[in-house]
């Protein structure tokens, strides 16, 4: 009886304990669910949205094709052509055992020009990856072949590839892009942002069957812009052909030709040799990418002598009919010697330029104050870029210091002690032919820039007339049939450590037609390796052929009267009689 009573008294206690345990568990479960719900919805509500978007939201990119580069006449210099890229999905390849298709993989390797073992190794190296490039930008024919192989996990993606129709002819101007279509050199690099544009995209949501059910947003693409250059590809082709032939014929290290419109400053041609093929740059030496017309600097030699004459005329220390006594053909300045090959006696300014007299130009330079002479060199545009905005353009080397010896000023007058680019030399002669108005040069069409008068029109025209006599009497190889041409040769030693070596640079800078100047052409032949190295021998013939081609392409009529006026002819005849014993060496005094 007592045992039964005892059992009854303990039963409610056990029941209550179990009840509370169950209630506690239920509360914990619901509390956990409530906390989780609060965490998801209040603290981190975007997580589930992100998960949902990953499963249902897609973005379709709208790529923009790179803009074209064309010359002044609309001829294409750089265009984008459709190509495709081969890529692999290693996970799909491994999941579907696609590597077992050995014959297909061998065919893929053969068409891509790769080793099959190396190709498959790239895929299996990281089997969990979802994207591996196999080959970028292949031709449509190769893409169709690969598509027919039907290897699981091998896909094709549409892209565009840059193509340069003119090849090596315009390579240094146009430049090139890398595999991702980013500009690396030339105009491609300078105007990369304009040529690239901005791609657009469309964000949309799809259902389980892949159908579009909602368009969320649309970002419109910004079309790329085409670039029109000032280059005339016809003149560019002529310049490159003649330059390349001269560099090879004279065994030169390199050469440059620049052709510009005198009145607008537009560059009509800019060629360098050696060049390269921008469509296939494999195994091309890096130095070939350099645009030598704007990067390489040279001491210009006798091509600076017109500036010395112009400076004396501007200051008033000499007039057109001034006679300079160059006897005895040499002089010492601070222990250094300035000399001509022989004693040429008394010379007019025109005769100084014709005979390329170092003594004459040195005395003209020393006849003006030091600061006035230096200012004219800076006014001519030396020590500053020409305004093309091309990457890598050098400003040359023109010292701006207080102390200059008389010898240094004298050598400056015949092109030593400064170094300039072919482009800077082009601008100086364009300024001279334009009546003393200096303009920045341009490579982009319709980019007109204001000019600045730096020399008087009267004295500029006087020097141009003298330069015509230089060509008529001294540089027969620079003449252009039917046109009056003016210009100046230059031959300078190349500087080396501690002085000058035995290598030369041959130059010619000239303008035509003198009756109404239109075109300036500068030719530089660097380090000719044969027996001929003077500017009148290696650069003047190139100038003549390039100028002839440019004048014809631009449809510039020949001079109505090729010869000078009768008074000028009489003056020249008298001068020839006076100097008949002074037969001028071709370029002996340019060195």
| Span 349-383, pLDDT tens digits | 999 999 999 999 999 999 999 999 999 999 999 99
- For 47-66, how does the pLDDT look when each residue is reduced to its tens digit (9 = 90+)? 666 766 666 676 666 667 88
**Tokens standing for residue 468:** 């015509």
For residue 77, what is the DSSP state? E
Burial environment of residue 360 by CB neighbours within 10 A (0 to 12, 13 to 18, 19 or more): buried
* Cα separation values, 254 from 121, 287, 311, Å: 45, 11, 32
For residue 286, what is the DSSP state? G
* 116-125, 206-215, 282-291: the lowest-pLDDT one: 206-215
The DSSP secondary structure of 191-215, one letter per residue, reads THHHHH-B-EEEEEEE-TTS-EEEE
Per the DSSP assignment, residues forming a β-bridge with 270 are 258
Q: Higher confidence at residue 484 or residue 448?
A: 484
CA–CA distance, 358 with 368 (Å, rounded to integer): 16
Burial environment of residue 41 by CB neighbours within 10 A (0 to 12, 13 to 18, 19 or more): exposed
Instruction: Examine the pLDDT at 134 and tell me if it is beyond 50.
Output: yes
Instruction: Examine the pLDDT at 10 and tell me if it is beyond 60.
Output: no
In the predicted model, what is the mean pLDDT of residues 168-175? Answer: 95
Contact (CB, 8 A) for 546 and 257: yes
Whole-prediction pTM: 0.81
- For 451-477, how does the pLDDT look when each residue is reduced to its tens digit (9 = 90+)? 899 999 999 999 999 999 999 998 999
Instruction: Examine the pLDDT at 204 and tell me if it is beyond 80.
Output: no
CA angle 61, 67, 68 (to 5 degrees): 145
Instruction: Examine the pLDDT at 492 and tell me if it is beyond 70.
Output: yes
**Tokens standing for residue 567:** 């008074």
CA–CA distance, 342 with 327 (Å, rounded to integer): 9
Give residues with Cβ within 8 angstroms of 398, minimum separation 6: 377, 378, 382, 383, 418, 419, 420
Residue 226: what are its φ and ψ, rounded to 5°? -85, 150
CA–CA distance, 395 with 295 (Å, rounded to integer): 9
Question: Sign of dihedral through CA atoms 87, 93, 99, 103?
Answer: negative
Residue 210 binned pLDDT confidence (cut-offs 50, 70, 90): low
Contact (CB, 8 A) for 269 and 232: yes
Instruction: Examine the pLDDT at 588 and tell me if it is beyond 50.
Output: no
Residue 486 binned pLDDT confidence (cut-offs 50, 70, 90): very high
Per the DSSP assignment, residues forming a β-bridge with 163 are 79
**Please, what is the average pLDDT of the chain?**
86
CA angle 318, 321, 323 (to 5 degrees): 70
* 16-25, 420-429, 518-527, 559-568: the lowest-pLDDT one: 559-568
The DSSP secondary structure of 486-497, one letter per residue, reads EEEEEEEEEEET
Contact (CB, 8 A) for 69 and 76: yes
- Residues listed for the chain: 591
Beta strands (DSSP E) in 243-394 are 254-261, 267-273, 323-325, 330-333, 336-339, 346-348
CB atoms within 10 A of CB 27: 11
**Tokens standing for residue 571:** 């003056």
583 is catalytic: no
pLDDT of residue 128: 77
**Tokens standing for residue 347:** 């010379």
CB atoms within 10 A of CB 553: 18
Beta strands (DSSP E) in 6-153 are 57-62, 69-70, 76-88, 132-138
Instruction: Examine the pLDDT at 577 and tell me if it is beyond 60.
Output: no
Residue 99: what are its φ and ψ, rounded to 5°? -65, -15
* 32-36, 374-378, 582-586: the lowest-pLDDT one: 582-586
CA–CA distance, 456 with 473 (Å, rounded to integer): 26
- Which is catalytic among the residues 80, 275, 302, 544? 302
For the chain, domains (ranges, CATH) are 60-196+213-228 (3.90.1310.10), 233-277+294-590 (3.40.710.10)
Contact (CB, 8 A) for 580 and 280: no
- For 109-120, how does the pLDDT look when each residue is reduced to its tens digit (9 = 90+)? 888 888 888 888
CA–CA distance, 227 with 188 (Å, rounded to integer): 10
Helix (H, G, I), strand (E, B) or coil at 442: strand
Contact (CB, 8 A) for 69 and 195: yes
Instruction: Examine the pLDDT at 189 and tell me if it is beyond 50.
Output: yes
CA–CA distance, 428 with 249 (Å, rounded to integer): 29
Give residues with Cβ within 8 angstroms of 49, minimum separation 6: none
Contact (CB, 8 A) for 495 and 235: no
CA–CA distance, 291 with 392 (Å, rounded to integer): 8
CA–CA distance, 337 with 362 (Å, rounded to integer): 11
Nearest Cα neighbor of 71 from 185, 261, 237, 230 is: 230
Give residues with Cβ within 8 angstroms of 229, minimum separation 6: 69, 70, 71, 72, 77, 173, 187, 443, 444, 445
pLDDT of residue 565: 44
């Amino acid at each position: 009886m007592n045992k039964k009573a005892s059992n009854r008294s303990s039963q409610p206690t056990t029941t209550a304990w179990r009840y509370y345990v169950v209630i506690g568990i239920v509360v914990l479960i619901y509390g956990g669910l409530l906390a989780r719900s609060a965490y998801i919805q209040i603290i981190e509500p975007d997580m589930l949205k992100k998960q949902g978007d990953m499963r249902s939201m897609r973005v379709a990119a709208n790529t923009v094709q790179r803009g074209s580069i064309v010359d002044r006449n609309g001829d294409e210099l750089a265009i984008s052509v459709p190509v495709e890229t081969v890529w692999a999905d290693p996970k799909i390849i491994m999941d579907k055992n696609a590597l077992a298709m050995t014959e297909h993989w061998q065919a893929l390797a053969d068409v891509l020009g790769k080793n099959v073992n190396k190709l498959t190794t790239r895929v299996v190296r990281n089997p969990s990856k979802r994207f591996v490039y196999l080959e970028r930008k292949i031709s449509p024919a190769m893409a169709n072949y690969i598509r027919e192989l039907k290897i699981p996990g091998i896909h094709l993606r549409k892209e565009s590839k840059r193509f340069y129709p003119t090849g090596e002819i315009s390579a240094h101007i146009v430049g090139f892009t890398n595999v991702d279509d980013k500009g690396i050199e030339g105009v491609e690099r300078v105007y990369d942002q304009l040529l690239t544009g901005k791609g657009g995209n469309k964000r949309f949501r799809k259902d389980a069957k892949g159908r579009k059910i909602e368009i969320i947003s649309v970002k419109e693409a910004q079309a790329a812009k085409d670039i029109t250059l000032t280059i005339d590809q016809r003149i560019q082709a002529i310049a490159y052909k003649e330059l390349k032939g001269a560099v090879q014929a004279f065994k030169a290290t390199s050469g440059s030709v620049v052709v510009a419109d005198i009145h607008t400053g537009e560059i009509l041609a800019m060629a360098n040799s050696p060049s390269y093929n921008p469509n296939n740059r494999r195994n091309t030496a890096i130095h070939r990418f350099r645009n030598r017309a704007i990067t390489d600097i040279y001491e210009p030699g006798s091509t600076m002598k017109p500036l010395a004459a112009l400076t004396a005329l501007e200051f008033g220390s000499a007039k057109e009919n001034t006679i300079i006594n160059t006897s005895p053909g040499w002089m010492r300045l601070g222990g250094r010697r300035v000399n001509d090959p022989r004693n040429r006696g008394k010379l007019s300014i025109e005769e100084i330029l014709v005979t390329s007299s170092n003594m004459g130009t040195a005395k003209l330079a020393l006849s003006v104050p030091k600061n006035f002479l230096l200012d004219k060199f800076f006014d001519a545009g030396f020590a500053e870029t020409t305004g093309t905005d091309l990457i890598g353009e050098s400003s040359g080397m023109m010292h701006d210091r207080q102390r200059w010896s008389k010898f240094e000023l004298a050598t400056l007058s015949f092109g030593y002690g400064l170094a300039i680019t072919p482009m800077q030399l082009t601008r100086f002669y364009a300024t001279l032919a334009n009546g003393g108005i200096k303009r920045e040069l341009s490579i982009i069409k319709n980019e007109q820039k204001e000019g600045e008068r730096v020399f008087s029109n009267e004295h500029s025209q006087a020097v141009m007339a003298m330069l015509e006599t230089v060509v008529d009497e001294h540089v027969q190889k620079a003449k252009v049939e039917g046109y009056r041409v003016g210009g100046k040769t230059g031959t300078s030693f190349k500087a080396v450590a501690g002085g000058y070596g035995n290598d030369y640079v041959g130059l010619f800078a000239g303008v035509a037609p003198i009756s109404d100047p239109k075109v300036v052409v500068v030719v530089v032949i660097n380090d000719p390796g044969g027996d001929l190295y003077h500017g009148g021998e290696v650069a003047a013939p190139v100038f003549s052929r390039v100028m002839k081609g440019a004048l014809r392409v631009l449809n510039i009529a020949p001079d109505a009267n090729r010869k000078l006026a009768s008074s000028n002819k009489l003056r020249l005849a008298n001068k020839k009689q006076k100097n008949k014993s002074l037969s001028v060496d071709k370029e002996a005094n340019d060195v």
